[in-house]
Structure formats: C-alpha cells, structure tokens
Chain A
Amino acid sequence: MYATLIFFAILFLIPVYMVLVTSFKSFSQVSLSTMWNFPTEVTLDAFKEALDKLLPNLLNSFALVVPATVISAMIGSLNGYVLSKWKFRGSNLIFTLMLFGMFIPYQSILIPLVQFLGSVGLYGGIPGLILVHVIYGIPITTLIFRNYYTEVPTEMLEAAAIDGAGFFGQYQHIILPISIPGFVVVIIWQVTQIWNEFLFAVTIVTGADKVPITVALQNLAGSQVVEWNVQMAGAFLTALPTLLVYILLGRYFIRGLLAGSVKG
C-alpha cells in the first residue's frame, strides 16, 4: 500500500524534479544529454535571466489579481447573503442562470467581449482584464458564499431583526463577523484562478510589457532562442505564488476546489 502511494508520489513529483534540476543549471550543462542529472555546479543565472524578462509581467499579475479578487469577493458575499437569507420568488432560478455562466466555454463570449471592451476603451490593458475577471467571477464567488451562509442558522438573523437590525444591519453585525473563513476560501480561489488564467489574458491584453505572467511565460517558451533552463526558471517563478498559497492554506484551497462541483 505504501509502495503504491510512494510510487504515485514519485510520478507526481517528476516534473518538479525536472524543473528544479534544469533551472539551477547553466545553459552549457542543459544542452548535453544529462537532463536527468543533478547540476554539476548550481547557478542562479537562469533565475536571474528569467526574472529579468518576467519581472514586469509578475507585477502586472499582482496588479490584476489584487483588485479583481477583492471586488469579486465583496460582490460574492453580498450576493450570497441575498440568495441564502433573503430568497424571493425566482431567486433560485436566477442563481441557476448565474451558475451557468461559470461553466460556459469563454470562447462563446469572447468576440463580443473584445468588441465591447474596444468600444468602451478598455481593450488592451489590465483594467479591462480586471473588469472581465470580476464579472465572470460572480457565479463562483456567489456560489461559495451562498453555500457558506446557508449553514448560518436563520434564528441568529431573526434575533437581530427583533433587535431592530435591517438588511444591512444583519449583514454587518451577524453575517460579516463570521464570514472570514468564507472570504479566505473565495480569495484563495480567485487569486489562483485569476493568476493562472490564460485565455482572457492573451486575448484582451496587448503589448509584451502589459501582459500578465502566464502570457509572458508562454511567449518566453514559444520563442525558439530561449534556453530550457531559463524556461524552467520562468515556469517556477510563475508557479511560485499560487504554490505558496496552496502550501500555506491548502485546507481552504481544497474547500474552494470542491465548491466548484456545485453541491460543495
């Protein structure tokens, strides 16, 4: 049993091993047929070169992820509050129609989206991409918060209502203080999704200095002249932020993951 578990663990870690041994090599070491060997001498040259090329794009990604995540988490929290505690006729239908938006292939809205962003002057830069991630993040953030708030006993809200708290009062005094785990799940989910996203980024943002990190990594790897050790170092830099989030807050990450399968 342990043998099987360890066997699979090694399989899963092969790419990690490869990234690490390649990115710590100098180019002259990589080009030989010693791909699987440890570097004969460890050098940070590949990381320096990758960072040199990708640093602006890393900063773009941070400038994208932080506002998009904060805004979509706030929208999701309010929506989830309404859809769990203030249900009205047709609210479940509206929720279902919203959820559909999280499963569609985004290719099916991409052409009008580009034309729309062009007509309002948001095509080509990070602000447009923030707007796009906020809007298409509504379904998943609403879903996670709705499922989270459904667990909150309605009696607590009724008690607050008797004390005179209205719609916003109940939200502020009852819901918001117990929302921290919900916010953690949603923020982690949105940070990883938006950081890792590629289709919107490659379509909406133009210009090598403005694109987020995933597009820059693909461009780096797509150009024939860039050495493998630099590519692997670039892949490592791209993966590092979300990997850190996963390692530090894995429990919440898994919760968001499972919420994506609707029932949660």
Chain B
Amino acid sequence: MRQGEPLISDRLKAVLILIPSIIAIAIFVYGFIAWTGYTSLTNASLAVGSGEYVGMDNYVDLFTGLRHERFRTDLVNTFFFTALFIGLCLSVGLLLAMLLDQHIKGESFFRTIYLFPMALSFVVTGVVWRWLYHPVQGLNALPTLIGQPPGEFRWFISQDRWFVFNWQDLGGYISAFIFIIDIVLVAALVYWNRRGGRLPGFIVAVMLLLSTWALLEGPQQLTALRRPETHGFNLAIIAVVIAAGWQMSGYTMAMYLAGLRGIPEDLREAARVDGASEWGVYRLVVLPLLQPITLSAMIILGHISLKIFDLVYALGGGDNPYIDMPGVNMFFTTFRGNALGRGAAIAMILLIMVALVIVPYLRTSLRSEHEL
C-alpha cells in the first residue's frame, strides 16, 4: 500500500499547521480566562502584587458592598441599553431592508449610506455625537431652525431617571419572575411530553437547579444591601442608544437584506396567486422565514451591547455614572484604580453574561451545519 504512506503524512501536516493556532487560542483565550478567574478570587493590586486568596469576596462586594453602587448601576444600565439598542436596530434594520427589497431605483446608493457608519470606529462615533449632544447647540438647537423653542434634553449628561426601584427589592422581583417562568415552562413541558416529545435530561436538571437557587436565596443574596439604594432607567442611556443604533442598524439591515434575497420569488408568487395582498405576503411568508435572522441579529447585537466600551468611553469617559457600563467600569477599576482583583471579578461577570448569549448560539449554529 504505497498510496497510504503520503496520505498519512499529509494528514499529519494538516494537524501540524493548525497546532500553533490551537496553542495560541488555548493560552490566550482559555488560559487567560482561567487566570482572570483566579485573579478575581484574590485582592491583587499593583500595590500588593499578586495578592492573597480572598474567595468570593470581590463578587460579594460588587453586588452588596456599599461602595460599589457604580457596578450595580452598570448592570441596570446594561439591561436598559441592551433592550433599547436591540429594539432600535431590529426595527430600523427590518424597515430599511423591506423598503430596499422593493427593487427600487438607487438601491445601492441608499444601502451605502445606511451602512457606512459600520466602517467607522466607535471612538469616532463617540467624538462626533458628543458634539451633536451639546446641551445648548447640537441637536437641541435643531428646533430653532424652524422657529420652535430649543430642545431641553441634556442627552448623555441628563440625570433624569425613570422606573426607579430599590436594589433591595430586586431579588424579590427576580424570584417572582423566575417562579412565573417556571410555571409556564413546566406547563409547556407537560404539554410537550403528552404529544410524545422527549426532553434532554440535563436541561431539566439545569432548570431545576437554577429555579431552586432562584427561589431559595440567590437573588436575595445578590441584592442584600444594608441600606436602600435606588436605581432605574437613566435617560442619559438614550443618547448612547441613538449613537450605537446609528452605527449598527445598517448592519442589521444588511443581515435582513441578505435573508430577504434568499427567499425564492416562487414562494411570494404562490402567496400572491392565492390572493394575498403585498402586506399579506410579508406577514404570512416573508416575516416567518426571517425569524432565524432576527435571532442571529439579536445575539450579535446583544453581545456587542453587553461588551460596549469604546463608545461610552468616548462619550463620557469614566466619570459619568449615568451612562456607565461594566466594560468601562472594569477598565477604570483595573487600569486606573489598580484594583486588579475587583476588575477581574467584573470581567468574569461580563464574560458570563456574554457566554450565556453566545454559547447556545455557537452550539446550534454548528450543529445545524453538521446536518447538511
């Protein structure tokens, strides 16, 4: 079998080519994450060097330490920012994609305009929008051009706050929410099993564990502050949402447009023959087929918004708690405040939030590919 010999050595070459990358990723991604994880369990700082092991103290401090209100504000800010940012990008992106899909004149012209902010740095976006958000001039001066009084909103330095709640109550809300979700899920599972479906055991186990933790003590522990502390939707976030949406909704449009172009004209034609109106074609044929794209877009946008750093930095530096986010806080805590242990803890919490979004996506994305 002389033919077999070179084949084996070629396979070996293929693996050898890959090995430097595998080692690099193993060290620089997974090894470093483990290292950060370990650092987060110490009180390391530039002053004390690598520090001593302090267990979960950094995490407990972030959630319940009176001096770390900023981190809790970050979490609340991230929540509202992510929800609004995804909502804005999806709605604008879908609207623009549907309009461009009508085979209009000048399509590529409009597409170029909607997508160009994607080519810019978030720093450029931040610097430019900071000028547009100037409280006296800028966008606030626009109404005066048509004889109206100037705008009053102070954009990213606004200190107004809606939906104010006490951080101590949050645990109760979360527990109640999880309890309701659990009831719905159990009902759905019972229904699913009756119809002959089978559920992977480990999902049930994870759900049970999470629910037990949630109902017993988890959220209460995370929100056990010694004194009331109010949080809420800081309206300054709107300024970040608009700037980020300006940059990213063209991207969402491109994803939707690619999806729309992938839908065979026959399908739409068939619906038209069956008497559907043009809007009916969209509602009954096109939008359901776009659902996977919506999900992908939500995940891509969601992980970008959780990680957001440069835009907030360029808009407000690290000094503006009303638009602060975990990624910014981590940078300033670690590299300006020299608290490596606490910075590492923020980084790990950020990583967990992103992983919760990305890991299921990677799994399903690649599994569906294997079936092809």
Contacts and interface: CB of A to CB of B under 8 A. Distances in A.
A13 B246 CA distance: 10
Nearest to B24: A135
A246 to B, nearest CB: 4
A98 B251 CA distance: 24
A109 B29 contact: yes
Interface string A194-220: 011111001100000000001001100
A19 B130 CA distance: 11
Contacts of B122: 196, 198
Contacts of A101: 25, 28-29
Contacts of B13: 166-168
A86 B11 contact: yes
B214 interface: no
B33 A104 contact: yes
Interface residues of B, number: 100
The B contact surface, by secondary structure, is helix
A167 B124 contact: no
A15 B10 contact: no
A28 to B, nearest CB: 15
Contacts, number: 258
B362 A107 contact: no
B303 interface: yes
Q: Which of A75, A91, A97, A218 has the most CB of B within 10 A?
A: A218
Contact of B117 (A12, A22, A247, A262): A12
A153 to B, nearest CB: 15
B296 interface: yes
Given A239-B121, A261-B255, A263-B365, A8 B96 contact: yes
24 contacts: A1-B99, A9-B110, A18-B128, A33-B141, A35-B137, A36-B145, A78-B17, A81-B17, A82-B17, A92-B366, A96-B366, A97-B25, A100-B362, A101-B28, A104-B354, A107-B309, A107-B343, A111-B36, A199-B331, A218-B127, A246-B116, A258-B254, A258-B255, A262-B362
Interface of B: 6, 9-11, 13-15, 17-18, 20-22, 24-25, 28-33, 35-36, 39, 92, 95-96, 99-100, 102, 104, 110, 112-132, 134, 136-138, 141-142, 145, 246, 250-251, 254-255, 258, 296-297, 300, 303, 306-307, 309-310, 313-314, 317, 327, 330-331, 334-335, 340, 343-344, 346-348, 350-351, 354-355, 358-359, 361-363, 365-366, 369-370
Interface of A: 1-2, 4-5, 8-9, 11-15, 18-19, 22, 33, 35-36, 75, 78-79, 81-83, 86, 88, 91-92, 94-101, 103-114, 116, 135-136, 138-139, 142, 166-168, 192, 195-199, 202-203, 214, 217-218, 221-222, 228, 231-232, 234-235, 238-239, 242-243, 245-247, 250, 253-254, 257-258, 260-263
